[in-house]
Amino acid sequence: MQGEINFVVDGGKSLSGRVETSRSKNGAVALLAASLLNRGRTTLEHMPRIEEVNRLIEVLRSIGVEVEWRGTSVVITPTGKISLETIDRAAATRTRSILMFIGSLIHVFKDFELPQSGGCTLGLRSVRPHLLALEKFGVEIEALSGSYRITHTKLFPAEVILYESSDTATINALLAAARIPGTSVIKYASANYQVQETCGFLRALGISIEGIGSTTLTIHGIAEINTDISYSVAEDPTDAMFFIAAAIVTGSTVTVAAAPIEFLEVELLILEKMGLKFKTSKLRLSENGITKLADISIEPSELVAFPEKIHARPYPALNIDNLPFFAAIATQARGTTLIHDWVYEKRAIYYTELDRLGATTILHDPHRISIEGPTKLKAAEVICPPALRPATIVLVAMLAAKGRSTLRNVYSINRGYEDIVHRLQLLGASIEAHTD
């Protein structure tokens, strides 16, 4: 078994140059789940080589799907026989993305079990939005100890009202509706980037979908999908946000290229009001024909605290996965910044890990934290939080902290960020990965 990977950072140095935004983790895993709808060959181009993708590929292979890396593409060829008896439970339980397999597998099995999902340790995350969405199509989900049992006798088109605008519940409902003949409607759907990505893929498979980018999706399902298709994964707004935050806290001139701008507009508005100087290039489209891209050039800036609380809301507001970066940024802004992370029960607690690097924080409750700035961050050794975004903000802070820091056991970061060490090195960061 591979030993744990640690990052060693000599911080306090300015960065410079240009970094290309990596492809979307959340889009990639949704497309892997969606590929199970297709009886033809699916080629997913520009796939990020990250641990979350690796886990789902292990699951697909273990149930009888042929999956092959060809350069930066993943080629998925159904073998005609899927068996969940041989599922790689260890891989499945390490990713919450396994939940999205339900929407595809209901078209293969009437009665099956999937291991309960894992991923980030962020407190209770209910699967009830998935259950309430899928039951409208005739599906029942029962939570057992260690697994979910999914059953149905007949699937039928439906109008689904989501009580929570969940990205993954919306995608599960989309995958369910795609192969149920007739018209289904999903109301109060998430319009986030991974949902638009999934809609684009389904449309390329021949499914008619109206309302892409809105909160009401109308899906005209078909019984069978058997087509050879190539589809490109779009760029990741949270990857772009990582490098924006790294540039800000290190006082650097950095261009974040090919950023999916529509999913960063509120973040950039807040940063502009905090005093950030930046420029954006003309828009262009990603290969999927949906995602608008721009280059964002960050300049060294003196920041002040945002006068309102900073909190996330469903798209088109500030993205929940980008919210943690404001904790690291707030350490370098004059005044007090209040961050309200209302979605997750535990995540704001992880923000206090910044204290180890010299930040001044006050944790009001599991959801709200105040951060005083500006602070001269100092080097430290920190064990990586077991959640992706809180882990990355510790790394961002280490880039700004003078001296040698060690971030131990960085699996959480490698779940969602591709080749992060090399990309930081190209910007001039002094960072190395070591295996214990």
pLDDT tens, 45-65?
999 999 999 999 999 999 999
Residue 124 has pLDDT above 60, yes or no: no
Residue 10 has pLDDT above 90, yes or no: yes
| CATH number at 5-22+235-435 | 3.65.10.10
Among 105-119, 195-209, 249-263, 397-411, the least confident range = 105-119
Q: Whole-model pTM above 0.85?
A: yes
Using pLDDT thresholds of 50, 70 and 90, give the confidence band for residue 208. Answer: very high
Higher pLDDT, 391 or 124: 391
d(CA 101, CA 92): 10
> Per-residue pLDDT averaged across 267-274, rounded?
98
Domain ranges (residues) in the chain: 5-22+235-435, 25-232
Higher pLDDT, 399 or 164: 399
- Digit-coded pLDDT (tens) for 148-207: 899 999 999 999 999 888 999 999 999 999 999 999 999 999 999 999 999 999 999 999
What pLDDT score does 2 carry? Answer: 58
What pLDDT score does 121 carry? Answer: 40
Q: Name the pairing type of β-strands 360-365 and 310-311.
A: unpaired
Using pLDDT thresholds of 50, 70 and 90, give the confidence band for residue 94. Answer: confident
- Domain 25-232 of CATH type 3.65.10.10: yes
What pLDDT score does 210 carry? Answer: 98
Residue 1 has pLDDT above 50, yes or no: no
> Per-residue pLDDT averaged across 237-242, rounded?
97
The distance in angstroms from the start CA to the end CA of the chain is 11
> Per-residue pLDDT averaged across 256-270, rounded?
98
> Per-residue pLDDT averaged across 310-320, rounded?
94
Same fold, 5-22+235-435 and 25-232: yes
Residue 123 has pLDDT above 80, yes or no: no
> Per-residue pLDDT averaged across 358-371, rounded?
96
Largest distance between two CA atoms of the chain: 62
